[in-house]
Structure 1
Amino acid sequence: MDFKGKTVLITGGASGIGKIMGRKVLERGARHLIIWDINEAGMNDVKAEFSNFKANVFGYKVDISKLGDIQENAQKVKSEIGDVDVLINNAGIVVGKYFHEHSHTDISRTMAINTDAIMHITLEFLPEMIQRNSGAVCNICSSAGLISNPKMSIYAASKWAAVGWSDSLRLEMEQLQKSISVTTIMPFFINTGMFDGVKSKLLPILEPEPTSERIIKAIEKNTKLLAMPLPYWFIRLSQGVLPLTVFDWVMRNIFGIYDTMKDFKGR
């Protein structure tokens, strides 16, 4: 996928890696950058910051936990701007608690934003991609979609579902012989504030700038699955080869993953 001249929509594009990815696609010559975010003030700041690029930057205030908001703003994008060439489903939330400490609202909102929304949003723009037989969908999931973790049960559930759906969508596009790439991204914790307080024993907390660059390059190269920093095949192989008790011991005592959320504060 070449970003030059393309229309790119990024959810959660007013901050964090969403904002950085927006800058990077503009640097690569995107024609339109569309930001969906619930933070209207943040979007306005980003639009002002990106005003030096020779491209149009649009901001839409969208609560992606609400299907009506998604559908209404998708129609606005289509009528006001046109087709979306690249969709980056980036927005997400986390509630760092033991499962029994969650409220029913915590559960429904996490699943609505991290899982349901990316499917609803993609469904709004995928038919046009299929019709013109071109496009790219990138879903920012999480390594929590591969490995279970205490105090992340609902988040992990939402990301396991997202990973399964995203890669199934990839296979469908291949089976239908459509020139639409689907890239599933599964990063470890990223140092953006969303996971403030997280501590990692062995694996590095990812930095936003290089992580964003790797994601954009993955879209350009039509990469199917990208996990960072541990490759997904290593995780899957370990889960398949090691007995569960041994796998748990390695994750807990070698990588320290099961203790990462003990001091979680969040944004």
Structure 2
Amino acid sequence: MTKIKNSTVLITGGASGIGKLMGRKALEQAASHLIIWDINEKQMLETSAELGKFGSVHTYRVNIADLNDINSAFEQMQSDGLTVDILINNAGIVEGSYFWENTHEDIDKTIQINTTALMHIALKCLPHMMARNRGHIVNISSAASLVGNPKMAVYAASKWAVTGWSESLRLELEQVNSNVKVTTVTPSYIGTGMFEGVKTHWIQPIVTPEKAAILTIEGIRRNSVFVRMPKSVYLTPILKGILPTRWFDTLVGKYLGVYSSMNNFKGHSIKKEEKSTTE
């Protein structure tokens, strides 16, 4: 089991949404330091003031799409005497439109923030974790990494990459008998505003931010390989494995309405705001 008590926890996109809630829960479980990375400095400072009553909070304004920003933040953290024990790669963005409606810049930004940033940040944390033979990396992917969905092609691509990389990293660490753990989180839509306007079915309800935070923190504590929410997400790989593709499309797309869930999307589109949002 991973001990949150006396650990230093870094959460990207930690100023709002489930990032903020996970930060609070980590402090409530006696984490020694909470490190928040976010691009929204005002919101980050407000969150720091709010969570400061629960423990030690450190904030760094970081654009995770910029490797120079990532490197600078780690240098500053080292100067501040902070070494990451638990990394929660939480920050992410979405563009809810058909693939051909995206610009090249939309594609690059989504992949940079949702995919490559997670790898760069993990690569900065891993040497210290492996040297101490302890640590935990948590990658917030998505149920969209398990099934394609119209109007989120680039987002789905970024999350499929995260799930594949996260699983491979876990297996690599196990292969060399490292005690560094990896947890991949694949939630369906979370009610943070990021996916405002989506239409869900009873079998795949919107997950509350509080529930998402609780399940993720519990998954860290238990060293869970996967944390999937709601429970119906666990059925997706099974159904895809046993059903012909067209049958799966009919069941999931027509009868469960998954393929039309983004039709009325109004969330934090990257065309609407030039800042990273959080899951």
Preserved CA contact (<8 Å) 1:226 1:232: no
Distance 2:152 2:197 in 1: 14
Percentage of pairs with the same residue:
50
Distance 1:205 1:82 in 2: 36
Distance 1:217 1:71 in 2: 30
Map 1:58-73 to 2 at 5 A: 58-73=58-73
Distance 2:59 2:105 in 1: 28
Preserved CA contact (<8 Å) 2:185 2:227: yes
Q: State yes or no: 1:216 paired with 2:217.
A: yes
1:177 paired residue number? 177
Give the 3-state SS of the residue equivalent to 1:51 in structure 2.
Answer: helix
Map 1:186-201 to 2 at 5 A: 186-201=186-201
1:84 paired residue number? 84
1:34 paired residue number? 35
2:21 paired residue number? 20
Distance 1:32 1:81 in 2: 11
Question: What is the identity, as a one-letter code, of the residue corresponding to 1:63?
Answer: N
Question: What is the identity, as a one-letter code, of the residue corresponding to 1:22?
Answer: G
Map 1:118-197 to 2 at 5 A: 118-197=118-197
CA deviations over 1:27-67 (Å, ceiling 9, x no partner) = 000010000000100111011101212x2100000000011
Unmatched 5+ stretches in structure 1? none
Distance 1:102 1:184 in 2: 27
Distance 1:162 1:150 in 2: 19
Distance 1:153 1:230 in 2: 23
Task: Give 1:79 deviation, angstroms.
Answer: 2.3
Task: Give 1:200 deviation, angstroms.
Answer: 0.6
2:74 paired residue number? 74
Task: Give 1:231 deviation, angstroms.
Answer: 5.1
Task: Give 1:212 deviation, angstroms.
Answer: 0.5
1-10 or 73-82: bigger deviation: 73-82
Give the 3-state SS of the residue equivalent to 1:137 in structure 2.
Answer: strand
Question: What is the identity, as a one-letter code, of the residue corresponding to 2:246?
Answer: T
Distance 2:223 2:256 in 1: 30
Preserved CA contact (<8 Å) 2:110 2:154: yes
Map 1:225-236 to 2 at 5 A: 225-230=226-231, 233-236=234-237
Give the 3-state SS of the residue equivalent to 1:185 in structure 2.
Answer: strand
Task: Give 1:232 deviation, angstroms.
Answer: 5.1
2:250 paired residue number? 249
Distance 2:256 2:217 in 1: 27
Preserved CA contact (<8 Å) 1:141 1:185: yes
Task: Give 1:249 deviation, angstroms.
Answer: 0.4
Give the 3-state SS of the residue equivalent to 2:148 in structure 1.
Answer: coil
Preserved CA contact (<8 Å) 1:136 1:180: yes
Distance 1:154 1:181 in 2: 28
> TM-score when scaled to structure 1?
0.98
Question: What is the identity, as a one-letter code, of the residue corresponding to 2:103?
Answer: S
Distance 2:88 2:145 in 1: 18
Distance 2:236 2:135 in 1: 30
CA deviations over 1:179-198 (Å, ceiling 9, x no partner) = 11100000000000101111
Distance 1:233 1:47 in 2: 35
2:241 paired residue number? 240
Task: Give 1:230 deviation, angstroms.
Answer: 3.7
Question: What is the identity, as a one-letter code, of the residue corresponding to 2:86?
Answer: V
Question: What is the identity, as a one-letter code, of the residue corresponding to 1:244?
Answer: T
Distance 2:48 2:101 in 1: 39
227-236 or 86-95: bigger deviation: 227-236
Q: How many residues align?
A: 266
Give the 3-state SS of the residue equivalent to 2:58 in structure 1.
Answer: strand
- CA-based RMSD: 1.0
